């Protein structure tokens, strides 16, 4: 039997393999240098070109690019009218930003538990969490697979709630043939380097609603308008503008916009490669009892952002933390998505209790994120599988 490196064996590989990594090619670099030589570094033509492209790709009527995925969530909440006294329901198994955006607006995040199979927010838990104060639901397409949108749309319609889809993981995914971006009232993307496409930092909000679109633009740009029909004090002077709400400077630059446009041209290629890697992972890990994978739903044609497994530490006789440490010594750097949001000290200090969502508590003790990114070779993929098998077999 092979001895894991953590117990003195030879590591599977010498070069570290990380869980995520951007893929930048010469076309990306050329696109950026073109903008650097142009007249506009920000507020220029690349922004409109990118927003058109996002609309075209997703079928959404409007796209508003912005500084990052967190800013996208913040302006989406503002556009939804989330304010002090409101409640916003979201998943506990997400990045803190999905809940922080409600806090930015003075509202209270309410965590609805996840489905144990799909690891996405459970529509029935959402339904049970609705009160007279609920304003919006922020669903998260965990790991790239669409949340149960039919159920969520219908619950939100029934209760007059605004549905925001945090699609930071799922650009390129389709739900029942419809692209993510055109299903919820507003959909937010992130273009951080660990996500499927990147421009360093970046984000966007997509919507089909003109009213949301107007508000999103205002909140992105200091609350300032140059549209004469919105002025309180009419003026036809070319230099005149008005600030009509309290907004932010959440704009993307043209340098980032052109990089993202260039990345979007590769999304299908990125997505296909991710699918290949996952097919191989699923085939290998199905054979290991004690490892569970995220349940796939037929409605979602998924572009995966993450590949997560669950470690049954009793069956495998190795704990989650020990597993991650053992993988690291094999030079395969895993990660964990996510610490339940309400476990963070900030949330604990707000009064959220451990144990609030039993499913997420259980899943959290088992979760491991394995490497998944476009630049991974077949050999890299086999190294990950080999390392998992080696560690698991040693303990069984």
Helix (H) or strand (E) run with residue 359 in it: helix 358-364
- Binding residue for ligand PLP (CB under 6 A) from 168, 183, 258, 260? 168
E-only strand ranges, the chain: 62-66, 87-90, 108-111, 134-140, 162-166, 174-175, 178-179, 186-190, 203-207, 224-225, 242-243, 291-293, 300-301, 307-311, 367-370
Please, which residues bridge with residue 134 across strands? 87
Stretch that binds ligand PLP, among 62-70, 174-182, 315-323, 357-365 (CB under 6 A): 62-70
What end-to-end distance do the CA atoms of the chain give, in Å? 11
Tokens for 111, please give them: 């965590």
135 touches ligand PLP by CB under 6 A:
no
Shortest distance (Å) from residue 54 CB to ligand PLP = 15
Which of 226, 266, 267 lies closest to 243 in space, CA to CA?
226
60 touches ligand PLP by CB under 6 A:
no
Shortest distance (Å) from residue 329 CB to ligand PLP = 27
Q: Which residue is nearest to ligand PLP (CB)?
A: 69
Shortest distance (Å) from residue 171 CB to ligand PLP = 11
110 touches ligand PLP by CB under 6 A:
no
Give the separation between CA 123 and CA 378, rounded to whole angstroms.
Answer: 37
68 touches ligand PLP by CB under 6 A:
yes
- Binding residue for ligand PLP (CB under 6 A) from 64, 97, 138, 316? 97
Q: How many residues bind ligand PLP (CB under 6 A)?
A: 14
- Binding residue for ligand PLP (CB under 6 A) from 57, 99, 137, 140? 140
28 touches ligand PLP by CB under 6 A:
no
- Binding residue for ligand PLP (CB under 6 A) from 4, 20, 69, 247? 69
CA separation, residue 11 to residues 16, 17, 226, 268 (Å): 10, 12, 61, 34
Positions 178 through 207 that interact with ligand PLP (CB under 6 A): 190, 192, 203
Give the separation between CA 42 and CA 315, rounded to whole angstroms.
Answer: 55
Give the separation between CA 217 and CA 75, rounded to whole angstroms.
Answer: 9
Residues that bind ligand PLP (CB under 6 A): 68-70, 94-95, 97-98, 140, 166, 168-169, 190, 192, 203
């Amino acid at each position: 039997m092979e001895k894991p490196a953590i117990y003195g064996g030879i590591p599977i590989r010498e070069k570290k393999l990380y869980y995520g990594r951007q893929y930048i090619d010469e076309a990306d670099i050329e696109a950026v240098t073109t903008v650097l030589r142009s007249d506009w570094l920000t507020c220029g033509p690349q922004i409109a070109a990118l927003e058109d492209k996002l609309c075209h790709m997703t079928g959404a009527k409007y796209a508003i690019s912005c500084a990052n995925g967190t800013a996208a969530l913040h302006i989406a909440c503002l556009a939804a009218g989330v304010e002090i006294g409101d409640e916003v329901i979201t998943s506990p198994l997400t990045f803190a930003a999905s809940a922080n955006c409600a806090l930015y607006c003075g509202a209270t995040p309410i965590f609805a538990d996840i489905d144990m199979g799909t690891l996405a927010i459970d529509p029935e838990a959402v339904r049970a969490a609705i009160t007279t104060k609920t304003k919006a639901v922020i669903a998260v397409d965990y790991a790239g697979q669409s949340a149960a949108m039919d159920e969520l749309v219908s619950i939100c319609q029934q209760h007059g709630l605004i549905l925001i889809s945090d699609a930071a993981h799922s650009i390129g995914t389709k739900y029942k043939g419809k692209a993510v971006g055109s299903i919820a009232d507003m959909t937010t993307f992130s273009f951080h380097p660990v996500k499927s496409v990147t421009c360093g930092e970046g984000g966007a909000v997509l919507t089909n609603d003109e009213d949301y679109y107007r508000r999103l633009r205002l909140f992105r740009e200091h609350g300032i308008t140059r549209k004469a029909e919105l002025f309180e004090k009419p003026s036809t002077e070319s230099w005149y503008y008005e600030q009509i709400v309290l907004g932010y400077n959440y704009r993307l630059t043209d340098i980032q916009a052109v990089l993202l446009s260039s990345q979007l041209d590769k999304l299908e290629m990125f997505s296909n490669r991710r699918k290949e890697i996952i097919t191989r992972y699923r085939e290998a890990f199905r054979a290991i009892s004690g490892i569970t994978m995220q349940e796939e739903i037929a409605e979602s044609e998924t572009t995966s952002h993450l590949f997560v497994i669950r470690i049954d530490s009793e069956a495998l006789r190795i704990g989650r933390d020990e597993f991650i440490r053992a993988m690291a010594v094999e030079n395969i750097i895993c990660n964990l998505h996510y610490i339940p949001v309400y476990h963070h000290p900030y949330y604990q200090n707000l009064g959220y209790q451990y144990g609030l969502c039993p499913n997420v508590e259980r899943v959290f003790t088992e979760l491991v994120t394995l490497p998944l990114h476009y630049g991974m070779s077949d050999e890299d993929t086999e190294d990950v599988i080999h390392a998992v098998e080696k560690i698991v077999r040693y303990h069984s």
